[in-house]
Every structure is written in C-alpha cells, then in structure tokens.
A and B are shown apart, each in its own frame.
Chain A
Amino acid sequence: MKIRVYRFNPERDTKPRMQSFEVATRPGMMLREALLDIRALDESFGFRHSCGEGVCGSDGMNVNGVNCLACITPLADLTEPVEVRPLPGRPVIRDLIVDMSQFYLQYKAVQPYLIRKEPLPEQEIPQTPAERDRLDGLYECILCGCCSTACPSFWWNPDKFHGPAALLQAWRFLADSRDQATDERLDALDGPYKLFRCHSIMNCVAVCPKELNPTKAIGHIKELMLEKAV
C-alpha cells in the first residue's frame, strides 16, 4: 500500500514535504502499524503513539483529510494513496508531531475538576444510576485533540475559543450531580468567544474516535445558561 507522510524536520528543512513509502499490508493491520513499519525504514520519521488501542489519545493525525487515531484506523478502510498529515491548525514540531500547548491550556481553563463546597461525607457522595448515566458520552474523552483541531472556530481563535474538547469537559462537570460550582462555571463561560464561537459546524462529532458529541454538550451548556438567565 502506498502511504504518503508529511515530513518536516526544523533542523534540516526549510519547508515541509510529502514522502512516499510502500508498506506491505497484513490482514487487520492498523495505520499505526504501517507507520511503525515506515519508522523501521527511516528512524527519523516522528509521530506520537503508545497504547495501540485507542485509549491513550497520543496518535491523533489527519488521514486523507480526516482527523483520526492511527491505532484504531484499519488500513483496509483507507483509499490509496493514503495521505498522512499532522493534526491541522497546530504548530508542527516535527513530522506528525504538533505542539498541543494551546489545546491543553483551553482544557485547563474550564476548571476540569469536581468542585464540592459542602463537607465531604465519610463514604461516597450518593449518585443515582440515572444521574451517573448523564456522564456517559462525556467522561470518556481521551484528549486526543481530533475534535478541536478539526474545528474552524478553533483554527481561527485557538487562544479565545475553548474548543469542543474543553467544552465537552465543561459540560461533564456541569452535568455531574456531585458538582457544586454551576454558577461559577456558567459565568466563566460567558462572553462572545469561549463558548459562543461554536457555530454547530459539527466537525468535532464527525471525527471523534470515541464517538462523543461535543456539539450536543455545547448545546446543553447554552440551554442551561438560558435557563439561569430567565
């Protein structure tokens, strides 16, 4: 199979280029394995990866124009030649490795942790199965960045718009029956950019490798804001 990968080494190159490799495929082979075969031919080819099963979120990349995790993307699903590029809109450090600092800053900005004001009980804080079910589809995010780097609003305003991944987490804590900081969280999301730059383009939903729905979460935040306002 012919795979064209994005190459850029800042110590050597003045501009990026695409490089072609021919990879022998095996049944059930994932893109990550093909990239490892390329690394065996050229150890200078850089990309992040680790768990190989879609839970660590290291190997987000843009493949044939779509963001995905290489380790759970079967080669059989891809059309040749496969074009592998770094996640869009982020500064490239080297080859497929991008600088995710801004993405992480936006994540940290939504106070992604449970805030509890009452004294803690000796045992667990009770939560009904129905209340717990509201967190399904939210807590599973692996911070791979596929969504935010597919979002045109994030491309334009990565410093001001939180982006879908961070907003999904903002809703994860708003939706948690145990959290006691709803008002502060909503106040912090107010303004034209942080939340409201989402124009429901839904690229985030299309690419999420965990099949999560940030657009829906953003909709819930907006509804809750409206509820609080009236």
Chain B
Amino acid sequence: MGLQHRHFDALIIGAGGAGLNAALRLASANHRVAVVSKVFPTRSHTVAAQGGVNAALANVLPDNWHWHMFDTVKGSDYLGDQDAIETMCREAIPTVYELEHAGVPFSRLDNGKIYQRAFGGMSQNFGGEQAARTCAAADRTGHAILHTLYQQNIRARTHFFDEVFAVDLLRDDAGVVLGALVLDIATGEPLVIESKTTLLATGGYGQVFRTTTNAFINTGDGMAMALRAGVPVQDMEFYQFHPTGVAGKGMLITEGARGEGGYLINAQGERFMERYAPNALDLASRDVVARAIVTEIREGRGCGPHQDHVLLKLDHLGADVVHHRLPGIVDICRVFQGIDPAKQPIQVFPTAHYAMGGIPTDRAARVVAPVHKGPEEAVPGLYAAGECACVSVHGANRLGGNSLLDILVFGRAAGQDIERYLSENPHHRPLPQHTLDPILARLERWDRHGEGEPVHVVKADLRKLMEDHCGVFRDHDTMAKGVEKLRTLRERIEHARLQDHSQIFNTARIEALELDNLVDVGMATLACALAREESRGAHSRIDFPERDDVHWMQHSLFWREGDRVEAKPVRTKPLTVESFPPKARVY
C-alpha cells in the first residue's frame, strides 16, 4: 500500500486551547504548522469551559502572582512542581492581556477593566481573605477563548487537518519522535505526517467514567499514544470530581455559580460546607467540596426521593445576577432540569471532570521521561500541553480557573520551545519503515471480520467499572478487584469486532480506536490509585485517610509495559522565590 507522506516543522495534535495557542505562535513566526484535530477546531472541549481563567490582575481586589502561586501549591496538596507553578502564575497576567488583545470578549467592570470573580481555593495574602482572580466572559469563557484562538489562527494561516484522527506516534530506534500516523476520517485513508516536532494537545479522558462533564471526544488519545510509544504517564490517580455536575446527567455547573454567591444545602436545608470548610465554605477546593457532598449523601442527608444529590441554591442572588453573569447555566438548567436557577435550586452531584495527571513534561512543555539520566530527560521532538500533559501545576488537585490558564501558558511555552528546537534541528530525520508496522497492524486488527462483541458494549462496561472501582472514595480491595476486572476487559477487546468496515466517515472505527485509548488510560488510573497508599488531594483512600509526606510526597509514573508504577521526585524548588513547604491543608 502506498502511504501518502506529508512534511511539517511542527505537528500539533489537538485543536483546543493548548494546541491552538502553540499553533498561533508558530504560524505567526512562519513555521510550517499542521494542526490535526478529530473534530472541527471549535468543537474541541475547551469550548465547554465556563467559569474563567485565573490571573492576578487585581482588577477587583488586591492581588499578586505570588498569592496565586501559594493557592495553587496548597490546592495541589503540595504535589505540584513549584517551578512550573511559579511560571504559570507569573505568565498568567501577560497571557490574559494577550488573549484580550486577540479579541476575547471578557465581561467588564465599570472602569473598563476585565471582570474577575471569586473562585474556589483562591485567597489574598497567602491564605487570608477570599480573592477575586478569575477572569470571565460571562460563564462562557472557554467558548470565548477557543473561538478567538481559532479566529486568530485563521488570520495566521495555520494549516488545519480537520476531522483527522491521530492513531499513533512515530518514534525511531534512537527514541526521537518523528511525527504521527493519522487517519482521514472522511476518506478512511491513513496518512503519515512527518514532522520535526510533535505536540500532543489532546485533552482529557473523562469518557472513561460513566458520568462525566466531558464530551464524547475526551478519550485520552494523546496519553495512550504516549504510552504505546514507550513514554510513561504521571499522577493518573489524581482525577478530579467536580462538585457540581447536574445530578444523574453530568453537565457541568460552573464553580462560578458559587463564586457569584451560590451555596450548597442538604436535605435538612443546612448549609453543610460550614462543617467541612469553616472559612472558605462553598469556595473550598474542589476535592474538599466533592468529598463533603458524597459524605452528606452517604450519611443520609441527600435530597430527593432517593437521597442521591444535594442542592445548589442561587435564588437569593436575584434574577439579574443569575441571568447576566451565568447565562449558560440558566440554559443548561432550563434544558436538562426544566428549572430557572434564579427561582429554584439546582440538583447536583460530584461528577468526573478533569485529569490532573498526564504525560510528564518540564515547564517548556517538553515531554520528559527517565531513560539514562534521571526523570527529567527530554524525549527528543515530543511535547505535550494542556489536560493531556502533567507539568505538574495541579499536583493532586486542580483549582478552578487554573485549567484554561494551564492550556494557554504551556501551549504557548510549547510553541516557544519548538522554535528553539527547530533552530537547533533544522532537518527532518529519516523515517524507518518499520516504525510504521505496529501502527498499521493496530489498524488492521480492527479490520478483522466475523463475530465478536461490539465496541459500545465493552466501552459501557469499562465506564461502569471505572465508576464503581475508582470513584471519589477508594480502598484497596475495591481497586484491586477493579484492576483484575480491567485485565479481563482488556482481553475482551482482543475478541471485539467491528461489523462496519466501510471507509467513508466510519465513526465506528474511530470509536474502536478510542476504546483502545480509554482502556490504556483507565489501567494507568487504577494502577496508580491502587499503588498510592495515602490520601492526598483528589485521591481519597478510606484505608489510608491521612496524607503521608514521608513516603508519598512523590509523583507516580505508569508504564504500559507490565502495567508498572514507579516514583518520581516532586520539583519543590521554585525559580525565584522560597519553596512553600507542606502544611496541613485547611480551608
């Protein structure tokens, strides 16, 4: 078969905020950039981010980046790498201005400056009063940012491969990444994209859980591609459950709803966060609020006939605030719960939302993995940014408003470092034919005809399994059983078959390839969660309820080969300021 080859300076896989911000920088500098996305760029899941992006602009209340850094380190439960966190919090300020200049329609204050709202885990003066740091475009901040970045990429003439699915990375025997094999969904034709550099910006993997705020496309493709290329993933046990998903359905209700003054109540009408976070109340960190809700429900104080959710109250804010500051939430409530949140409370439950873990990188977004010289050795030619990466700014728990920030800062950092790499490595390396063989074999595996389980059945079982065995509260026996079941499920995939073998826009084939990815990231999540015998951030072990800094203040690395988990040191040293040492974490 004659495979078509294309050649670029930079291949960017994924067209969310991270990929598009990297592309914008590179295309504006006249590099040959290819952005490959399995959906039209503005359908990427950045579009669904609601509440805002954090930056210490001090437009509403006093603020500075160092306070933001403290909050992020504390929020991470001291697992975040402090050099990366310093970078992110410093860069936040110029990043938001740059976005504004690019056209993002931020909401405004009376003095014409960008509107900033209160968000969870944000303080002034290293743990003092609530801060207002989250820059918002109503409650459609992700939409506003994604569309603006796409628009500026149109202006910069970035080359887009829309509706093209990345199958696997090409990596030669020296370990250099040479691009990727991709599949044009519309024609079913594979295509080799040879590139001097490759950036994975593929987002999260919420689809591995049954109830999730994530879109159908969030299947961990980049993380699984890295795993199959022999690169480990980091800290996969830290998966964030957002406190307020629409109960039973999963749509996100932004933390901005609480930032604007909303609060949670249980069946007795009690404002229960007073007991769990006496100072920050409903604006405690997400892991704290999610655990509080689950605890209320477990102890019989859930609302509704099945006592299976709590209520988020906004009606005291007045219709003006609710409709003007939270119009998207009003839409979601109207469509999916048939209520007006300015009048009635919203039924909510913690919902799988965000991966703190991912492909390990340094603060220049270079993928790093231990090969010869320790854990921070760059994988040549490979970059990762955004939710699929673990830089690690979120550590064990991400703060709301830091995710849009992460994708923008490190997307741009990737663009910058790719420019440097290209100046030092101006030529394409030869692509050995045998690097393609295992990838083509994987494609052919799904071409086998005959009887076998359908993909959607295996996928549904996987999602149920992960929800049952790796949820908000965890323990050894439940997770060990989960790993066992997941091994069995992985075997089942070998016998699953597609019935549809057509070429043109075959979505069944794409979903089969996505299932391969979901199983790999699901195993990484469960294996890391089982290995970590402490409670930290989003990882709550009933059998190990305390944080254990002596044994566990370390990252986890998971390798696909042998489902192996190893430790990696935390980078506790910031760039210019003193390190924040671990302290008890109270809100």
Contacts and interface: CB of A to CB of B under 8 A. Distances in A.
Interface stretch (B151-159, B271-279, B354-362, B373-381): B151-159
A39 B456 contact: yes
Interface centre among A50, A74, A132, A143 (most CB of B within 10 A): A50
A111 B103 CA distance: 13
Interface in B61-119: 96-97, 100-103, 105-114
Interface residues of B, number: 62
Contacts, number: 149
B502 interface: yes
A126 B143 contact: no
Contact of B144 (A43, A74, A139): A139
Interface in A176-196: 176, 178
B132 to A, nearest CB: 16
Interface string A115-143: 01000101111111101100110011011
Given A10-B504, A28-B336, A124-B97, A54 B47 contact: no
A114 B152 CA distance: 8
Contact of A125 (B100, B500, B508): B100
Given A44-B500, A116-B101, A122-B97, A53 B454 contact: no
B112 A128 contact: yes
Interface stretch (A55-63, A152-160, A212-220, A221-229): A55-63
Contact of A43 (B215, B328, B508): B508
B331 A54 contact: yes
Contacts of B216: 49-52
A127 B111 CA distance: 8
Given A52-B251, A56-B47, A43 B454 contact: yes
A94 B504 contact: yes
B259 to A, nearest CB: 18
Contact of B147 (A12, A74, A122, A139): A139
Given A46-B505, A94-B505, A129-B107, 14 more contacts: A28-B336, A39-B456, A44-B500, A50-B217, A51-B48, A53-B252, A55-B140, A56-B39, A93-B505, A113-B152, A127-B108, A140-B143, A143-B42, A176-B105
A50 B504 contact: no
Contacts of A123: 57, 97, 113
Given A44-B499, A55-B48, A139-B147, A129 B108 contact: yes
A24 to B, nearest CB: 16
5 contacts: A43-B498, A50-B43, A56-B48, A56-B215, A113-B103
Interface string B320-346: 000000001001100110100000000
Contacts of B106: 124, 132
Contact of A132 (B42, B105, B147, B251): B105
A84 to B, nearest CB: 16
Given A93-B186, A108-B154, A135 B105 contact: yes
B336 A53 contact: yes
B43 A56 contact: yes
Contacts of A120: 101
A46 B101 contact: no
Interface in B147-197: 147-148, 151-152, 154-155, 186
Contacts of B336: 28, 53
A68 B149 CA distance: 26
A125 B101 CA distance: 7
Nearest to B103: A114
B143 A54 contact: no
Interface in B495-553: 498-500, 502-508
Nearest to B155: A113
B454 to A, nearest CB: 7
Chain A interface main SS type:
loop
Contacts of A127: 108, 112
A126 B507 contact: no
Contacts of B155: 111, 113
Contacts of B421: none
A178 B103 contact: yes
Nearest to B59: A124
Interface string A28-71: 10000000000110011011111111111110000000000000
Given A126-B112, A139-B144, A139-B147, A43 B499 contact: yes
Nearest to B147: A139
A124 B499 contact: no
A200 interface: no
A53 B103 contact: no
A55 B143 contact: yes
Contacts of B390: none
Contacts of B42: 56-57, 142-143
B200 to A, nearest CB: 19
A54 B331 CA distance: 9
Interface in B275-314: none
B503 A46 contact: no
B51 to A, nearest CB: 14
Contacts of A51: 43, 45, 47-48, 215-216
A143 B5 CA distance: 31
B455 interface: yes
B40 interface: yes
Contacts of A72: 335
Nearest to A93: B505
A55 B47 contact: yes
Interface string B22-55: 0000000000000000011011110110000000
Contacts of B43: 50-51, 56-58
